[in-house]
Chains A and B, each alone.
Chain A
């Protein structure tokens, strides 16, 4: 715990406080500035953050540097991928080609876009829906809480992976359906965490003060409860992104994810894994590299954020 110096108001007590000296010695720091300082002192987190930014840059600007598009077939390598489809700068296939002679670089760029988008959108849905749901359940408590959380319990015990596949099979495989399916389940854990925090937050004095000041329930939840939850929500959301990417990759690995020519890390890994027997290792290793780097980085950034925002460590 850091003892936050009480800022003495110069106007109220001008006699014995040397204002200029006081400012130099003890600048008051906000929670977030403090957390940022601690986060950037932790080397693995910073390295991971940089790695994530690079992967993001690769995914969303990489196509400017591609010599081929992701759907174009290079007829000259078709049938001889093992010999001619190697990664090389001369042919413009920086990462080689896939089994059908398509440029793996362009496909990896495109797959990274899909995977990152799915991860971020899934986590985004979790943040919005889960936070509101959990905060409402925790704030009102009693019967509202028990009905809302019972529903979460029930949804959590459904084997969602199978239900998600069922959804994709029945309504066709598309990005929209993937988002709907992932959105259905991603917020459940978040709502539980947020509810737990809200239960203790709502007993705090500042909530009482807000109520005494005449604030309505909605205002209290949005202006007083949720801002105090942001730390834990940010940490959990960071850890949720790789989980969403994993879920999507899992489904794509089975060939049930997004449809060609769109692809994703899971689909690329699946195709690469299917052809390792023929000696085209690069088809597995390039997508796998981006996949692993991203997951590792998200976990490290999440861990770093958790340590940085943990008030016990101050």
Chain B
């Protein structure tokens, strides 16, 4: 087990370093420095600004400082567009919003998806089954950026039940649509995965034995079938998490929730490189850590995994 964890860390850590170096090199390759604008600054001012941000140092020292800053102090440096704010301030402002509705989406997707998948498998070839299969195909071609406008048309424009955007400190009418728009496609994928693995488990010998000895169907599902059926789901949680983190960018932009995705796109338009890099690296680190945790959890729970 320890060997497996070390091996996985052996991939995760270089990935992280590559991501940092890659973003940094990209920023250095960018045509024009962060302070070159249409109105050229006086040379002395430019030199002062460059000195303030450490841009007059040789680039390997800059890279080293940047990496040390991130890894030891969790400091992503100053923002280039907003001189009075650091990247950390900006992230701290947007992250809680994204985290709130991201978590709700995740919970919703897993709970509803599992329930739908299990129900579809237990009632195989019933209308419920067809409904589950139908929605999971539909959700494949309805990504979050299509889902979001459709929700707004229905619930804001036609029914007038929910506000079409904004956040207002996370009051529930403002949270509902982001959560649904972000979670639907993952809910459908989870339902599909759960359904097929549940079908496989229900067809296996130990379930037949349990049924033969007269165990009530509910007990069979809860006590025997559930655990092995949910195993494949665990390995999907990694990609699902990644997808949600990425998808939140669209949700933030479309619903103007002020989350991290909106900050990301705003910085992309402002060419605020340090913020883009900071968010890329932060989300990259989250992704890598989450995948690592899921992998380890999977190996720990499933004794059939060899490591």
User: Chain A: residues with CB nearer than 8 A to chain B?
Assistant: 150, 153-154, 157-159, 161-163, 165-172, 242, 246, 249-250, 253-256, 266, 269-270, 272-273, 276-277, 281, 284, 288, 291-292, 295-296, 299
Residues in A neighbouring B156, C-beta threshold 8 A: 277
Query: Across the two chains, which residue of chain A brings its CB closest to B17?
Result: A154
What are 20 of the A-B contact pairs (CB < 8 Å)?
A: A154-B14, A157-B11, A157-B12, A157-B15, A157-B288, A159-B283, A162-B283, A162-B284, A165-B268, A166-B276, A166-B280, A167-B26, A250-B145, A253-B145, A254-B249, A254-B268, A277-B164, A284-B153, A292-B146, A299-B140
Residues in A neighbouring B254, C-beta threshold 8 A: 273
B88 proximal to A (CB < 8 A):
no
What is the 8 Å Cβ interface bit string for chain B, positions 32-55, against chain A (1 contact, 0 not)?
A: 000000000000000000000000
User: Chain B: residues with CB nearer than 8 A to chain A?
Assistant: 11-12, 14-15, 18-19, 22-23, 26-27, 29-31, 137, 140-143, 145-146, 148-149, 152-153, 156-157, 164, 242, 245-246, 249-250, 253-254, 264-265, 268-269, 271, 273, 276-277, 279-280, 283-284, 287-288, 291
Residues in A neighbouring B273, C-beta threshold 8 A: 169-170
| Chain B contact residues: helix, strand, loop or mixed | helix
What CA separation (Å) do A215 and B153 show in the bound complex? 63
On whether the beta carbons of A166 and B23 are closer than 8 Å, the reply is yes
On whether the beta carbons of B142 and A292 are closer than 8 Å, the reply is yes
**Closest CB of chain A to B118's CB: distance in Å?**
24
A165-B276, A170-B30, A254-B253 as given contacts; A295 in contact with B11, CB under 8 Å: no
On whether the beta carbons of A291 and B146 are closer than 8 Å, the reply is yes
- Set B146, B152, B271, B279: member contacting A162, Cβ < 8 A: B279
Residues in B neighbouring A256, C-beta threshold 8 A: 265, 268
- Set B23, B157, B242, B279: member contacting A276, Cβ < 8 A: B157
**Closest CB of chain A to B159's CB: distance in Å?**
14
Residues in B neighbouring A150, C-beta threshold 8 A: 11
On whether the beta carbons of A266 and B145 are closer than 8 Å, the reply is yes
Residues in B neighbouring A284, C-beta threshold 8 A: 149, 153
Query: Across the two chains, which residue of chain A brings its CB closest to B28?
Result: A170
**Closest CB of chain B to A288's CB: distance in Å?**
6
A157-B15, A269-B146, A276-B149 as given contacts; A254 in contact with B157, CB under 8 Å: no
Given contacts A153-B11, A158-B19, 18 further A-B contacts (CB under 8 A): A157-B287, A158-B15, A158-B22, A165-B264, A166-B277, A168-B268, A170-B30, A171-B30, A172-B31, A250-B250, A254-B268, A273-B145, A284-B153, A288-B146, A292-B146, A295-B140, A296-B137, A299-B140
